[in-house]
Structure 1
């Protein structure tokens, strides 16, 4: 029997995230061939191509698109490059997987979505934590009515990745290239999860602060233009509110997430801080009880997710619907560019609020 044809994919970007997430995730899929890789640094490009046995390399993504004509393009590059690269890939006939945040702002994200839809391309915003067993099971519990009507959420996503003042500046510290700092970086995940669970955010209020105001870049001290920490309050269209703390300068935290979700029928708590197990934990209690108990996550969701080399399991959970839909009718499965745009609208509202000092609607200005 003839083996099914593999989808020919190309990856643009050679960052640590491309190396630890996208390339092993794609390589682990039996239905995908990574036919080409593009990056700015020739030495880094050659090293990753050798590691993952990728036959063709390019330093210009336009040349890659013209010569390889991939069916799927994965964009894992700095934020300010997402929109031009995605538009070029869509125009060249490719379906697109784009890293979060989808764009610098909602205007760019809306253009990307409109172009993808007009051309009939599949599109996906790579929002990692939709693939975690805990977040997926939490969605099930919420939809089944465990919380009842939402009252409020208290949440945080904390990291120490920029705590060291000696860490050099990068595109993530430049507003024109990153959009913002931790708000774009970690906030995209948090906002997407909350809107996945509870529906659209109506309005937002926020505060952005930078604690390490200068860093070295190429031997010169430069100003840090983006936020190290963001605090924000959100109100949902369907009722309920959320307060969130995001930080990239939190001592003792590697990749810590915690959300306490309170409704009129119960409380659910989600926590994730497992560098070598991509599962998460859930506790809950019904209204009237005062002791939260662990809620086991079904084995059908957790199988294959524990262990150092298990990120491909998350990758499959996020990308399986996308690849299954390449030749199927209907809309692009979530999280598509539509979900990326929805998160970007809230990010923009938080940033506008930090500048204006007022609540801002989570829609275009």
Structure 2
């Protein structure tokens, strides 16, 4: 089995998720032509990244991503650093001829994401963007039902991604709440996943109209940050929150379907409710990632006395990826979506094709994100073609 030598920039929440995915691939998908080799992990904090290398199983650690990108013994650069670092690392990696996996959002701006796509295409490398929720077996089942025509013409896509982790006004000003680092708040962090799922399942959008709000205008400065947790004091200095806390928007799809989207970090009781419902002429599906192994399915041609939503448990061999894991009825979790994601990346490199989703999908998502932001600012419908 040929090895794919990986250099990863980022070592915290997503760094752990990606490391786990690479390590799981050879065990659960042993017939793949490429085997990931955890060569070098990179981060600015020398002590922290060395600890991560030991914990996650990387051969070496590095504090300078420029040096990492230039190494001849690296084939793929995995970028899961904060969003403001994506562009520079990706451009350098493309110039060095490395394949790239980049977490979403692809960049802080549409212009930057287009520049990244152009650089990757010019370099002739393989490029992928991290929309891991596509890779849930139940979501793959929804895709199958839509593409096969079993739901008929699609009329509605409605989706919501609800969290409550910054509900407390004393929660510190982490980097995800700063526009110059994160790009946007719940809209770009959570809403981007909904937009990609809509593109994946229903198709491209034609126009959007939206509204957003920042409920807590300033927060204590963070003294320590790890993943989605942080420490700070209400007695200490504060800084402005420069992103949205919640965004809602409506859309019209190119194929005539209507869409509604809601993303917020202020929904008490919702730890991570990532859900969608799709209604078609012949049936409907409902998905909630908090019950990620299940898809609720309804068909209009069922006998009248048994009509209703049925719960389909997407864990047996009829469903995507399931044959690699556990016996039917034995569920999988959040971390498995990253393994499936990395499987797609490695297969695409071996098969000499672009993986899906790739930087082109990242650009399309960014077009919608910025169209919604323009709509909020100008209080009008905005066509995606304007972007």
Q: Taking structure 1 as the reference length, what is the TM-score of the superposition?
A: 0.92
CA distance in 1, matches of 2:335, 2:248: 32
CA distance in 1, matches of 2:362, 2:347: 20
Q: Per the alignment, do residues 16 and 267 of structure 1 end up closer, same or farther by CA in structure 2, a change over 3 Å counting?
A: same
Secondary structure of the residue aligned to 2:77 is strand
Answer yes or no: is the 8 Å Cα contact 2:129–2:362 preserved in 1: yes
CA distance in 2, matches of 1:297, 1:67: 42
Answer yes or no: is the 8 Å Cα contact 2:293–2:331 preserved in 1: no
Match of 2:379 in 1: 357
Give the counterpart of 1:154 among 153, 158, 170. 158
Cα shift readout 1:159-211 (whole Å, capped 9, x = no counterpart): 11221222211221111211110110011110001111111111111111111
1:126 is the counterpart of 2:130: yes
Secondary structure of the residue aligned to 2:67 is helix
CA distance in 1, matches of 2:72, 2:332: 30
CA deviation after TM superposition for structure 1 residue 104, in Å:
1.2
Q: Please, which runs of 5 or more residues in structure 1 have no aligned partner?
A: none
1:264 is the counterpart of 2:281: yes
1:228 is the counterpart of 2:245: yes
Q: Per the alignment, do residues 138 and 341 of structure 1 end up closer, same or farther by CA in structure 2, a change over 3 Å counting?
A: same
CA deviation after TM superposition for structure 1 residue 267, in Å:
1.9
Give the counterpart of 2:341 among 301, 314, 318. 318
Q: Per the alignment, do residues 32 and 267 of structure 1 end up closer, same or farther by CA in structure 2, a change over 3 Å counting?
A: same
1:101 is the counterpart of 2:105: yes
Answer yes or no: is the 8 Å Cα contact 2:108–2:182 preserved in 1: yes
CA deviation after TM superposition for structure 1 residue 125, in Å:
0.3
Give the counterpart of 1:5 among 2, 7, 10. 2
Say how many residue pairs are matched: 357
Secondary structure of the residue aligned to 2:25 is coil
Q: Per the alignment, do residues 131 and 206 of structure 1 end up closer, same or farther by CA in structure 2, a change over 3 Å counting?
A: same
Match of 1:50 in 2: 54
1:286 is the counterpart of 2:286: no
CA distance in 2, matches of 1:122, 1:313: 22
Answer yes or no: is the 8 Å Cα contact 1:256–1:273 preserved in 2: yes
Answer yes or no: is the 8 Å Cα contact 2:199–2:205 preserved in 1: yes
CA deviation after TM superposition for structure 1 residue 327, in Å:
4.0
Answer yes or no: is the 8 Å Cα contact 2:133–2:139 preserved in 1: yes
Q: Per the alignment, do residues 257 and 333 of structure 1 end up closer, same or farther by CA in structure 2, a change over 3 Å counting?
A: same
Cα shift readout 1:215-266 (whole Å, capped 9, x = no counterpart): 1115421110111111100110111111111111211111112222112222
Answer yes or no: is the 8 Å Cα contact 2:209–2:375 preserved in 1: yes
Cα shift readout 1:326-363 (whole Å, capped 9, x = no counterpart): 24334x12111111111111111111111110111124
Secondary structure of the residue aligned to 1:169 is coil
Q: Please, which runs of 5 or more residues in structure 2 have no aligned partner?
A: 27-34, 224-235
After TM superposition, list the pairs within 5 Å mapping 1:1-365 onto structure 2.
4-19=1-16, 21-30=17-26, 31-67=35-71, 69-217=73-221, 218=223, 219-274=236-291, 278-286=292-300, 291-297=308-314, 299-300=316-317, 301=319, 302-303=322-323, 304=325, 310-330=333-353, 332-363=354-385, 365=387
Cα shift readout 1:29-81 (whole Å, capped 9, x = no counterpart): 33111110111222221211111232221111001222464100100011111
